[in-house]
Structure 1
Amino acid sequence: MSNISLIIEERAANIGNFMVGRLLPFRQKRAVGPFVFIDHMGPVKMSERENMEVLPHPHIGLSTLTFLFDGAIMHRDSIGSEVEIQPGAVNWMTAGSGVVHSERTPERLQDSTKSLHGLQIWVALPKELEETSPSFTHIDANQIPEWQEDSISFKLIAGEALDKKSPVPVHSHLYFIEIKSQNATKVSIGDKLYGESALYILNGSVFSEGNEYGPKQILVAKDAKLCEFDIAENSTVYIFGGESFPEERYIDWNFVSSSKERLAKAKEDWINQKFPKVVGETDFVPYPTFKKS
């Protein structure tokens, strides 16, 4: 019997002046473990007249994880952080009770041709930490655990799994793993995973139960402990998941919470500009006329 319970196709979504591929949430699967939102950015080429300009916008009740394959993003937030993220590094921002941040093309790249490609992820916070104070951590690429097994390269980008632990300061039991193949081979790591689990194919293909799956697909497993598949040569996949929370999580625009009342308050506070400000920024993204979830 197949261990795949659901196949999710990447869908186009607009995040202002930038198009992305939306992976989560999905109408049949709102979360995988604590992961509640995943956008695939790019790959996109931009001219010297085009830049990423995501104006200051708010979050509550979640941590954001930004992981780039190509390009660079300048992150600024209301905590006072100002960090350029580059490929292989991790920006981990915990919104908690409320944070505001902007994401832009770094000034050094704004007048040149450039590219951008990566993942932006939201991880819900445990209920007891939903109102924690905001924080920000940048982890350089050389700090991420990386190892080789035969013709497969592994990275544990966040969380704990495969007898490794990432330095990213996560708030719940989760994992986000990169797997890259040089040659076609079998991957069998199921006895070292836990909770809910899903696999995202960035490029190449994987084979399971006689079926082939390609890029821009998420495969959601029925049982994380049965995670075994064949991977084609020169493929890159990401396995993510972990323990689910006992309470449902609701999403309203950029807000995540176990309480719909808290979402309503966040909306009201943003409309009335009661969130903290990003130093040096005056523009902001207004609350949308039509809610997105």
Structure 2
Amino acid sequence: MPAITVDDVTTLPRLRTPGLGDQPRPVWQVSTAPSGYEGEGFPVRRAFAGIDLARLDPFIMMDQMGEVEYAPGEPKGTPWHPHRGFETVTYIIDGVFDHRDSHGGGGSITNGDTQWMTAGSGILHIETPPEWLVQNGGLFHGLQLWVNLPRDAKLTDPRYQDLRSGEVALVSSPDGGALVRVIAGDVDGHAGPGSTYTPMTLVHATIEPGARLELPWNPEFNALGYVLNGHGSVGSEGRPVHTGQATLFGGGDYVTVAADRAQEGRSPKLDIVLLGGRPIREPLAWAGPFVMNSKAEVLQAYEDFQKGCFGHIPV
């Protein structure tokens, strides 16, 4: 897994150990992500399927893309499609994704890079593997998270943040048993490069077999975890989790994740994404690629899309 790492984790800044008055977050729910296909047919796991949308707020959904080893000619992407009213966060762990949009933007992300796209008032875009990957095949693995926008930002101008792997804040657990990559938000005073409309935190942690991570967490935020690979447990109660399972945590000051001593040969460590944010607590109307506050606003989005208000597909 070539997401950004270091040769010696002990050289990194250390997270603080929870204090006597800090409360661990209990586990409210563990769910298993169902598998499906997206776009032109690439495999995904619907990470938060089965978790109440009110508990996800400010998030809408998250897909794990892959992990899949493509044969030559097999890599697939998405066709041109619209978005309005939210942000997409695409984190590529293995492989490459190219992006183009109706505003003339574009670029590639690979191996630990993140593209943060604020769709805002509306945009058309396409995500595809590069031609050389289609021809040669190869490993592809990533995540796409949908983050809601508050009412007063839903029609903001579209924008992008290309967050390269080398910009991510790297910290370790007190004993050096876990590497924590802070992509957005703040963890114990360590800030990631992502700029967000809604206060939130997004991290990718790699935990050594037998190690335990007690991650300080903003008590105003909700907290969710999703296991990318490996076996372990969550919460002070030690609830078992494995690849493809999501955890919804309750309130408290820190999140607990531990890796089992025995891991799979192909996944020698536990990799987990942890995220949370301040709930927006506004009405939600979601239909396909549009996330608004009312049904009328969703219908208006479809009408604006059909009128070409989101721009036009480049030649």
TM-score by length of 2: 0.83
Q: Which residue of 2 aligns with 1:3?
A: 26
Tell me: CA distance 1:52–1:184, structure 2 relative to 1, closer, same or farther (3 Å): same
In 2: Cα distance, 1:272 partner to 1:260 partner? 18
Give runs of aligned pairs for residues 172-187 of structure 1, distance below 5 A: 172-187=198-213
Give runs of aligned pairs for residues 81-92 of structure 1, distance below 5 A: 81-92=105-116
Kept in 2, the 8 Å contact 1:76–1:278? The answer is: no
Aligned equivalent of 1:19, options 29, 43, 46: 43
In 1: Cα distance, 2:243 partner to 2:54 partner? 21
- Give 5+ residue unaligned stretches, structure 2: 1-23, 262-268
Kept in 2, the 8 Å contact 1:124–1:249? The answer is: no
Q: Which residue of 1 aligns with 2:271?
A: 236
Deviation at 1:252, TM superposition (A): 0.6
Deviation at 1:110, TM superposition (A): 2.4
Kept in 1, the 8 Å contact 2:83–2:290? The answer is: yes
Kept in 1, the 8 Å contact 2:42–2:66? The answer is: no
Deviation at 1:24, TM superposition (A): 3.0
Indicate whether 1:58 and 2:82 are aligned.
Answer: yes
Q: Which residue of 2 aligns with 1:223?
A: 251
Deviation at 1:224, TM superposition (A): 4.3
Tell me: CA distance 1:238–1:44, structure 2 relative to 1, closer, same or farther (3 Å): same
- Measured against aligned partners, the alpha-carbon deviations of 1:219-265 in whole angstroms (never above 9, x if no partner) come to 10111425224333511111101100021322110111122211111
In 1: Cα distance, 2:112 partner to 2:56 partner? 23
Deviation at 1:279, TM superposition (A): 2.1
Residue type of the partner of 1:44? V
Task: Give the length in aligned residue pairs.
Answer: 280
- Percent of aligned pairs with the same amino acid: 25
Instruction: Identify which range, 71-80 or 23-32, moves more after superposition.
Output: 23-32
Residue type of the partner of 2:34? R
Residue type of the partner of 1:231? A
- Give 5+ residue unaligned stretches, structure 1: 281-293
In 1: Cα distance, 2:210 partner to 2:284 partner? 38
Kept in 1, the 8 Å contact 2:48–2:246? The answer is: no
TM-score by length of 1: 0.88
In 1: Cα distance, 2:54 partner to 2:48 partner? 7
Residue type of the partner of 1:119? L
Give secondary structure in 2 for the equivalent of 1:270. Answer: helix
Tell me: CA distance 1:83–1:191, structure 2 relative to 1, closer, same or farther (3 Å): closer
Tell me: CA distance 1:31–1:243, structure 2 relative to 1, closer, same or farther (3 Å): same
Deviation at 1:271, TM superposition (A): 3.9
Tell me: CA distance 1:137–1:210, structure 2 relative to 1, closer, same or farther (3 Å): closer
In 2: Cα distance, 1:80 partner to 1:196 partner? 36
Aligned equivalent of 1:255, options 273, 290, 295: 290
Tell me: CA distance 1:246–1:30, structure 2 relative to 1, closer, same or farther (3 Å): closer
Residue type of the partner of 1:245? I
Q: Which residue of 1 aligns with 2:162?
A: 138
Q: Root-mean-square deviation (CA), in Å?
A: 2.0
In 2: Cα distance, 1:241 partner to 1:54 partner? 27
In 2: Cα distance, 1:50 partner to 1:31 partner? 37
Deviation at 1:157, TM superposition (A): 1.1
Kept in 1, the 8 Å contact 2:168–2:193? The answer is: yes
- Measured against aligned partners, the alpha-carbon deviations of 1:2-46 in whole angstroms (never above 9, x if no partner) come to 811122211123223222111235363455241111001111122
In 2: Cα distance, 1:224 partner to 1:64 partner? 28
Instruction: Identify which range, 101-110 or 235-244, moves more after superposition.
Output: 101-110
In 2: Cα distance, 1:261 partner to 1:254 partner? 15
